[in-house]
Amino acid sequence: MNVVLADQIQHKIDFKTKPTGALGMLEKLAFQIAQIQQTLTPELKKPHIIVFAASHGIAAHAVSAYPAEVTAQMVLNFLNGGAAINVFTRQHGIALLVVDAGVNYDFGKNEKLIDAKVGFGTNNILTSPAMSAIECDACLQRGREIVGDVRATGCNVIGFGEMGIGNTSSAALMMSKLLDLPLEDCVGKGTGLSDEQMSAKLAILHQAMQNHADLDNNPLRVLQTFGGFEIAMMCGAMLEAADRGMVVLVDGFIASVAYLTAFRMHAKISQHAVFCHESSEKGHEILLRSLNATPILRLGMRLGEGTGCAVAYPVLQSAVAFLNEMASFESAGVSNKVA
């Protein structure tokens, strides 16, 4: 760490015309973004959100309140501009990219969709590993390449979203294994299961855990065994974004599990991560706490798609704006003597 620059950034924040610390979390964000960019005058350039979509074999077991076909239908909705993430990215001037990481549907040629198809969905993780080591590696690699292409456009702030019916099941199993926590702490209602359906989901995931009893907590093996193509691609994408010095916006429960996996691979990613919101999906609060992460927003959202990143983005803009534009005590002739 460049200690001199870190001191200068903190000094610049502290000498703005406000009581020390009065901009709260905006100050922490401003410091972090300035540190990431190694400058006293950070800028957020060409923000992007990438939504990765994939199908899940486990969806055949009624672990979601919605049918598996919704994954492909929502991809078409993203392409037509009608989903929540389309609305919020449009609202805030964020570019949106949609990636077919492995949806069980043939979208044909569509120039609006990035084709990174690794397959037509993961295996059923109740009985088999989600994917082969080769597929897992391909996902990480494709995620990295897509971010490389986005970085080349001048983007320095990027968020990731996902779409994949059944993926809260994948994420819960991964979280339980990586953090060595009981499944009860990690499994939630996802798209909105009833209490009864939730008990059935928990029973299936206990069975899945038992069927993979010899799995250790190696992040790559956990990803391969329980992950989804979209979760693995997000993981590679987050790693690349950090490697390239970008600000990484972390969305809800599933994105945070992808982040946890990436963090276990390369802890350095934490310097780049901004936790945008706390999802109301059970497990997210515990996961954020275990990461020592303070989310920007707590709106009771539980959607995914990167929506938390899009809604939190203006807060990052405010953080950068105060650091660049606000007067200092000296420039404004305001006394900074504490009475």
Return the active site residues. Answer: 305
Interface with ligand RBZ, residue 190, by CB under 6 A: yes
Position 25, amino acid: M
What are the E-state strand segments in 155-227? 157-163
Helix (H, G, I), strand (E, B) or coil at 29: helix
Contacted by 165, from ligand RBZ, ligand NIO, none: CB < 5 to 8 Å by type: ligand RBZ
Min dist CB 149 to ligand NIO, Å, is 25
Report d(CA 209, CA 205) in Å as an integer.
6
Interface with ligand RBZ, residue 74, by CB under 6 A: yes
Min dist CB 10 to ligand NIO, Å, is 33
Interface with ligand NIO, residue 279, by CB under 6 A: yes
Question: What residues numbered 143-162 form the site for ligand RBZ, per CB under 6 A?
Answer: 162
Interface with ligand RBZ, residue 124, by CB under 6 A: no
**CB-based contact 291:260 (threshold 8 Å):** yes
- Say how many Å lie between the first and final Cα of the chain, rounded: 35
The one among 143, 262, 281, 310 contacting ligand NIO by CB under 6 A? 281
**CB-based contact 239:269 (threshold 8 Å):** yes
Report d(CA 193, CA 68) in Å as an integer.
15
Contacted by 104, from ligand NIO, ligand RBZ, none: CB < 5 to 8 Å by type: none
The one among 42, 159, 228, 304 contacting ligand RBZ by CB under 6 A? 304
Query: Count of residues for the chain?
Result: 339
Per-residue burial over 81-119, b = 16 or more CB atoms within 10 Å of its CB, e = otherwise: eebbbbebbeebebebbbbbbbbbbebeeeeebbebbbb
The one among 103, 304, 309, 311 contacting ligand NIO by CB under 6 A? 304
Residue 214: CB atoms within 10 Å: 4
Helix (H) or strand (E) holding 263: helix 253-265
Interface with ligand RBZ, residue 306, by CB under 6 A: no
Interface with ligand RBZ, residue 102, by CB under 6 A: no
Contacted by 252, from ligand RBZ, ligand NIO, none: CB < 5 to 8 Å by type: ligand NIO
Binding mask 182-211 for ligand NIO (x = CB under 6 A): --------xx--------------------
**Structure tokens given for 192:** 């909105």
Contacted by 281, from ligand NIO, ligand RBZ, none: CB < 5 to 8 Å by type: ligand NIO
Report d(CA 74, CA 216) in Å as an integer.
34
Contacted by 240, from ligand NIO, ligand RBZ, none: CB < 5 to 8 Å by type: none
Which positions touch ligand RBZ (CB under 6 A)?
Answer: 64-66, 70, 74, 162-169, 190-191, 303-305
Which positions touch ligand NIO (CB under 6 A)?
Answer: 168, 190-191, 251-255, 279, 281, 284, 302-304
